[in-house]
Amino acid sequence: MTTTEEDLNLDAQASAKAGAVTAAGASAPAEAKPEPTTISEEQIRAGQRAHDLDREHVFHSWQAQGPFAPMTVLAAEGPYVWDGEGRKLLDMSSQLVNTNIGHQHPKVVAAIQDQAARLCTIAPQHVNDARSEAARLIAEITPGDLNHVFFTNGGADANEHAIRMARLHTGRSKVLSAYRSYHGGTQLAVNVTGDPRRFPNDYSAEGVVHFLPAYQYRSYFGATTEAEEAQRALRHLEDMIQLEGPGNIAALILETVPGTAGIYGPPAGYLEGVRELTSRYGIIYIADEVMAGFGRTGRWLAVDHWDVTPDLITFAKGVNSGYVPLGGVAISDEIFDTFRERAYPGGLTYSGHPLACAAAVATITAMREEGMVENADRLGREIIGPTLREFAQRHPSVGDVRGMGCFWAVELVKNRETREPLAAYGGSSPEMNQVIAALKSGGVLPFANFNRIHVVPPLNTPDADVRFGLEVLDRALDVADGFVS
Ligand SMILES: Cc1ncc(COP(=O)(O)O)c(C=O)c1O
């Protein structure tokens, strides 16, 4: 399967799309040079067996299992993966936007091997050096007094625990979250999620209330300027708080830069306004930095771009590039104090797993030593941003480009005036499938969602490889242009 679909995958329709993409990618002539010296015939045969066994025994996330046509990955290194036929593809998706340091970083691989040789696992109630050091490094990265870390297995459970902490801390039950958001696939996390993946899972029993986000390209508030969008979206949010009863609302959860939902950064002043409103009404502000955090936007955390300190920050993915599953909640001193004498009623067998924490320590250290966050910022300002803006001038199918660091979205439309999307919200389309197939046949593994292509390479992708990916995208946009009316 394409990386893209796994995270986004919505329903059987998306499964069919995944199949179409893989089939098209596989059958189209490969423009990217295969690497016969890297992938042997034997590896390809082993990959075929893995594929057969997968189809017989593996149940995949989000998919209609029947039509699903997954892509085999035989090897991965840096920003590249090799598919089941030995074709080399630039991983412009960073898988599910988590391999921020690329694949198989030698320092992180060595740290995991070293930790495995010393101590593979230990129960969460014991002290462990990898866990302590990972928590110290994360507390150093988080703003303000978010000095303690509760480790989880990934992003969804991080959000579940953050909400539980907020409810216990405030004694309130409701949770506000934005439409056009993704917060995870477990029950409460998918309930706070604001995208179509929630629909089949929505039992509306969790006290969750959705509000409209600040999304300027398709403004829900009729705004024509950034300032108007921020002001009107904040007024709407305050109305929602008033109408739901401020005294009932425990938390507001918000992706600092919504990721899968479209990489739409907040208009200037919006997050500051959210912080002010939540403080004024005694609501815990949870910043979901699962996708946007750990260098993705060209800062260590996306909130660093704005002058806000949330009460809780959730993270996962980039914290250790996903080499071993890890997520967590960074906790303010005030919320920590609630649980100083009172037991926190929650836990996980693998909270602070040594292999995952050793990977986090090595990842953060490598990112610092190799200046990856600064590099992501530079790639965004000097290469990705200017190139995509130039595409927007030349390609009539490009409705909007936006982003920062190594976190960019290209929104494709059939008509720039009406902004009619190339695939409907929540769905795929034959047109989008052709664009995705063009990327794959050109040698790029893309991240796509509805009518968008996301440009989200690892933060340390060499300039020449980023340029290669953008050239392939340029040609794929010619295909999209053919659908403009
Ligand atoms: C913003 C955000 N929050 C939460 C999650 C859920 O993380 P996980 O899949 O590790 O549970 C994701 C996953 O894509 C995400 O992008």
Distance 293 CA to ligand 1 centre (A): 11
Which residues on adjacent β-strands are paired with residue 103? 78
User: From the CA atom positions of the chain, what is the Rg in Å?
Assistant: 22
Q: Are residues 258 and 306 in the same domain?
A: yes
Written as six digits, the tokens of 350 are 């693998």
CATH classification at residue 214: 3.40.640.10
Among 160, 183, 264, 321, residue to substitute to test ligand 1 (most atoms within 8 Å of Cβ): 183
Q: Which of 369, 394, 412 is the last residue of a domain?
A: 369
Percent of the chain with pLDDT over 70: 92
Distance 261 CA to ligand 1 centre (A): 11
Q: Are residues 73 and 54 in the same domain?
A: yes
Decide: 131 in ligand 1 pocket, CB within 6 A: no
Q: Which tens digit of pLDDT belongs to each residue from 119-138?
A: 999 999 999 999 999 999 99
Distance 425 CA to ligand 1 centre (A): 20
Euclidean distance between CA atoms 223 and 216, whole angstroms: 7
Which residues on adjacent β-strands are paired with residue 89? 81
Distance 416 CA to ligand 1 centre (A): 31
Q: Which tens digit of pLDDT belongs to each residue from 34-90?
A: 444 479 999 999 999 999 999 999 999 999 999 999 999 999 999 999 999 999 999
How many angstroms separate the Cα of 200 from the Cα of each of 42, 62, 207?
Answer: 42, 11, 17
Reply yes or no on whether the pLDDT at 7 is more than 70: no
Specify the ligand 1 atom closest to the Cα of 96. 14
- How would residue 105 be classed by pLDDT, with cut points 50, 70 and 90? very high
Q: Which of 369, 401, 425 is the last residue of a domain?
A: 369
- How would residue 157 be classed by pLDDT, with cut points 50, 70 and 90? very high
Q: Are residues 81 and 149 in the same domain?
A: no
Q: What is the pLDDT of residue 38?
A: 73
Q: Are residues 467 and 346 in the same domain?
A: no
- How would residue 3 be classed by pLDDT, with cut points 50, 70 and 90? very low
**Which DSSP string do the residues of 111-170 spell out, in sequence order?**
HHHHHHHH-S---TTS--HHHHHHHHHHHHHS-TTEEEEEEESSHHHHHHHHHHHHHHHH
Q: Are residues 349 and 377 in the same domain?
A: no
Specify the ligand 1 atom closest to the Cα of 327. 10
Decide: 447 in ligand 1 pocket, CB within 6 A: no
Euclidean distance between CA atoms 265 and 372, whole angstroms: 21
- How would residue 6 be classed by pLDDT, with cut points 50, 70 and 90? very low
Euclidean distance between CA atoms 173 and 297, whole angstroms: 32
Q: What is the pLDDT of residue 87?
A: 96
**Spatial contact of 443 and 472, defined as CB atoms under 8 Å apart:** yes
Distance 327 CA to ligand 1 centre (A): 9
Decide: 183 in ligand 1 pocket, CB within 6 A: yes
Number of domains in the chain: 2
Q: Are residues 97 and 113 in the same domain?
A: no
Q: Are residues 277 and 148 in the same domain?
A: yes
Q: What is the pLDDT of residue 390?
A: 98
Q: How would you label 37-63 residue by residue, b for 16+ Cβ within 10 Å and e otherwise? A: eebeeeebeebeeebeeeeeeeebebb
Q: Are residues 123 and 251 in the same domain?
A: yes
Q: Are residues 449 and 342 in the same domain?
A: no
**Which DSSP string do the residues of 348-412 spell out, in sequence order?**
-TTTT-HHHHHHHHHHHHHHHHTTHHHHHHHIIIIIIHHHHHHHHHH-TTEEEEEEETTEEEEEE
Q: Which of 369, 396, 420 is the last residue of a domain?
A: 369
Q: Rounded mean pLDDT of the chain?
A: 92
- How would residue 202 be classed by pLDDT, with cut points 50, 70 and 90? confident
- How would residue 204 be classed by pLDDT, with cut points 50, 70 and 90? confident
Q: Pick the range with the lowest mean pLDDT from 34-38, 114-118, 384-388, 463-467.
A: 34-38
Q: Are residues 306 and 447 in the same domain?
A: no
CATH classification at residue 395: 3.90.1150.10
Decide: 288 in ligand 1 pocket, CB within 6 A: yes
Q: What is the pTM of this model?
A: 0.93
Distance 51 CA to ligand 1 centre (A): 26
Among 94, 291, 329, residue to substitute to test ligand 1 (most atoms within 8 Å of Cβ): 291
Q: Are residues 89 and 166 in the same domain?
A: no
The amino acid that residue 341 corresponds to is: E
Range of the domain at 272: 106-369
Written as six digits, the tokens of 157 are 């459970």
Q: Are residues 334 and 386 in the same domain?
A: no
Q: What is the pLDDT of residue 454?
A: 98
Distance 7 CA to ligand 1 centre (A): 8
**Spatial contact of 4 and 94, defined as CB atoms under 8 Å apart:** no
